[in-house]
Structure 1
Amino acid sequence: MYQKRQQKVLNALKERGCDGLVLNAGPSLAYFSGLQFHLMERPVVFLLVAGEKPLIVVPALEEQKLDTVDFDLEAISYHDNPSRWQESFDSACRQIGLPGLKIGFEPRQLRMLEYGYLETASPSTTYTNADEAISQCRALKDSAEASRMQKAVSIAQDSLLAILPRIGAGMSEHQVAAELVIELYRQGSEQPLPFSPIVAAGSNGANPHAKPSRRLLRQGDLLIIDWGARWQGYVSDLTRTFAIGQVDHEARRIHELVLRASAAGRTAARPEIPCSAVDNAARSVIEAGGYGTFFSHRTGHGIGMECHEEPYIHDGNESPLKPGMSFTIEPGIYLKGKYGVRIEDDVLITKDGNRSFSDLNRELLTI
């Protein structure tokens, strides 16, 4: 599997005039090699060059991870004295023939730490943005990837359902978030969670990326919960909005608008339409309801090994949707000083439309 993925990305890079790819610790390295490392002070670099055996530079304490690799891989390891690390990178660049080549990299992932060692080892190598070639591979999920994403969604949904009976007026946002994190791990989510849950009540819900606070939930609040889980390297990202007791008429009205916008976005999503069409379908419902200026973000983002990846669902993105693409649909309305509403689902484009991984009730439930 990983050899096929490596060849696919090399072919995509060749079409763009590149000779190979450099990856450091992160989701793309896991996707193309199956190897999981975290970013730390010790650099990890994977070099993939057309016609050469893949090569990885790793700290010695991580070498045992290479025993799981199912393809031919060269490895150069180093110990903990940083003054000797450059020697390992010099050797790696010579061995794989990096001097003079044009190599793709991920601008949002490769750090100056790794780049500095590579540039010193091979100053004649040029580097170019490989995001498009990488996303051409990663954006199209196969059935195994889709199954993992479905499991990640199921864990997330089961976790929220388990704690809902314990949520009520008098609890703090922080307490709700803590209960949810514990339950996510109890239900089987892998570490780390894709992100720290957002729990935002009342006026805090008007901030789309609010951080859970010590604010207590009160009668009449709208409560936004945005959370996710991880399963075998793939993640989920969901949002539901709840009522704490009776809420006012406008709160119910904006929830109904967001609910309809969510349905419109899910109905629009199908192969070959541009990403912008999904955004427009959801946004037009909220605009028609008179709240367009209060929908302050894109309708969605790709999801898979990362919580945010290609494709991005926003106005102006004319890239066509393809079977296998997965992304969120998450319209929202945010009224500063009052409250907010967001409903978020994870969907997969199929050959004749889409299916939602998530099926948790989207209605305004009172808790």
Structure 2
Amino acid sequence: MTTAAPAPFTADDYKARMDRAAQAAADAGLAGVLVAPGPDLVWLTGYQPTAITERLTLLVLAAGSEPVLVVPTLEAPDAERAPGAPALTLRDWTDGKDPYAVTAPLLDVNGRFGVSDNGWAMHLLGLQQELPTTSYASLTEALPMLRGVKDAHELERLTAAGAAADATYEQILKVRFSGRKENDVAADLAALLKEFGHSQVDFTVVGSGPNGANPHHEAGDRVIERGDMVVLDFGGLKHGYGSDTSRTVHVGEPTDEERQVHDTVRIAQDAGCAVIQPGIACQDVDRAARAVIDDAGYGEYFIHRTGHGIGVTTHEPPYMIEGEEQELVPGMCFSVEPGIYLPGRFGVRIEDIVTVTEEGCRRLNNTPREMAIVE
């Protein structure tokens, strides 16, 4: 499977993102956005420090002001080469100097700022000590949809990542499961994701038999046996954007009950996808999928949300769960992944990444959802 790499994002792309973030902060009543190294900084600037240390690196965005990236002097050369660097100003500080004193003049002394969730507490406390009248909120709380709506270039990358995950699933069906350890199949999944263009493998869940009843089971030394249901959940990053798909296979012929549970999850997953359209709430997707499982009598065994957003990370807002009233808009991308988990026996999960369109949704995973029989 060979596909041409998408064109890289430009300085103009990053400038537009920074401008959008600053305006979104202003619209939310915030004085600005403070972004530490991590996925938000990569998305906004293309800059990812080679080593994230205790030294303060912070992007400061505020409507009406030029973006400023505060960096340690020894890391300034790398920051200057970042794709988004032409759209911002670098302000460096040397070891032995107070980075918070360098940053303070950039901030409204009475402002409330959104802070990226992975910022270090020591840096936030340092800013609070320097500017005691400022206040802060996590970006997930203050601007949950900052990265939630993808543009055409991002959708291209997510589509390619989904296709690579699909190719991985098609190939894993050809390997032998019975008599091998879960770790062996997980290694096959990781190798296939890499073969099909992933630069990073984030997870390879292989939950066989009773292990499948744990949604986040990590592959282990259990030997897969004939008669096992096996939950496969795998993904990572390709071209900087995430894949995440789940299918549940069976080693040899399943029982009638196993078929019934699998069919229930498949129908629930279809129901969740069927209601997706602009204007409905995230919780409506969860309700549609959950109703099918409730009606089949397995409601107590569906123990997680129906979905999560995906982009430069494999889990991000929005979340498909009761109580989430965020409305869907075209360009949102998220998983639809209902499951049933019978403790001590087996589990079933089916997951696709979808993107909201003007008419409904488009699946980014398109492998068969019917139960596959493996050897």
- Asked if the contact 1:22/1:48 (under 8 Å) is kept, the reply is yes
Once the two structures are superposed, the pairs formed by residues 330-341 of structure 1 within 5 Å of their partners are: 330-341=337-348
Query: What is the count of residue pairs matched by the alignment?
Result: 359
Indicate the residue corresponding to 2:272 in structure 1.
265
Larger mean Cα displacement after TM superposition, 132-141 or 320-329: 132-141
Q: Give the AA of the match of 2:92.
A: S
Preserved CA contact (<8 Å) 1:155 1:229: no
Match of 2:39 in 1: 27
1:318 aligned partner: 325
1 CA distance for matches of 2:324 and 2:110?
Answer: 35
TM-score (norm 1): 0.92
**Residue ranges of structure 1 left out of the alignment (5+ in a row):** none
Structure-2 residue corresponding to 1:63: 77
Q: How many angstroms does 1:219 deviate by? A: 0.3
Offset of residue 49 of structure 1: 2.6
Measured after TM superposition, the shift of residue 246 of structure 1 is 1.8
1:266-285 matches, cutoff 5 A: 266-285=273-292
- Measure, in 1, the Cα distance between the counterparts of 2:121 and 2:138: 15
Does 2:264 match 1:254?
A: no
**For residue 62 of structure 2, what is the aligned residue in structure 1?**
49
Give me the whole-angstrom Cα distance separating, in 1, the residues matched to 2:262 and 2:112.
51
- Paired position in structure 2 for 1:125: 134
1:62 offset after TM fit, Å? 5.8
Q: Distance in 2 between matches of 1:176 and 1:11?
A: 47
Query: Aligned residue for 1:164?
Result: 173
Shift of 1:88: 3.1
Q: Name which of structure 1's ranges 176-185 and 145-154 shifts more when overlaid on structure 2.
A: 176-185
1:173-209 Cα shifts (integer Å, max 9, x gaps): 1111112112211221013x3x221111000000011
What is residue 210 of structure 1 aligned with on the other side?
Answer: 217
Letter in 2 for 1:90: A
Q: Provide the aligned C-alpha RMSD in A.
A: 1.9
| Alignment match, 1:100 | 110
Query: TM-score w.r.t. structure 2 length?
Result: 0.90
The answer to whether the 8 Å contact 2:286/2:306 transfers is: yes
Distance 2:87 2:292 in 1: 53
How big is each residue's C-alpha offset from its partner over 1:123-149, in whole Å with a ceiling of 9 and x where there is no partner?
343223443553333111111111100
Indicate the residue corresponding to 2:164 in structure 1. Answer: 155
Moved more, 273-282 or 169-178: 273-282
Is 1:306 the equivalent of 2:320? Answer: no
Secondary structure of 2:174 counterpart: helix
How far is the alpha carbon of 1:333 from its aligned partner? 0.5
AA partner of residue 89 (structure 2): E
What percent identity do the matched residue pairs reach? 35
Q: Verify the 8 A CA contact 1:203 1:338 in the aligned structure 2.
A: yes
**Partners of 2:315 and 2:44 in 1: CA distance:** 18
Q: Choose which of 90, 94, 101 in structure 2 pairs with 1:75.
A: 90
Gap regions ≥5 residues in structure 2: 1-12
Using the TM superposition, give the Cα deviation of residue 358 of structure 1 relative to its aligned residue in structure 2, in angstroms: 0.5
Q: Are the aligned partners of 1:55 and 1:92 in contact in 2 as well (CA < 8 Å)?
A: no
Q: How far apart are the structure 2 equivalents of 1:65 and 1:12? A: 25
What CA distance in whole angstroms lies between the structure 2 residues aligned with 1:41 and 1:155?
36
CA distance in 2, matches of 1:97, 1:296: 43
Aligned to 2:173, the other structure's residue is in SS state: helix
1-structure distance, mates of 2:128, 2:318 = 31
3-state SS, counterpart of residue 47 of structure 1:
strand
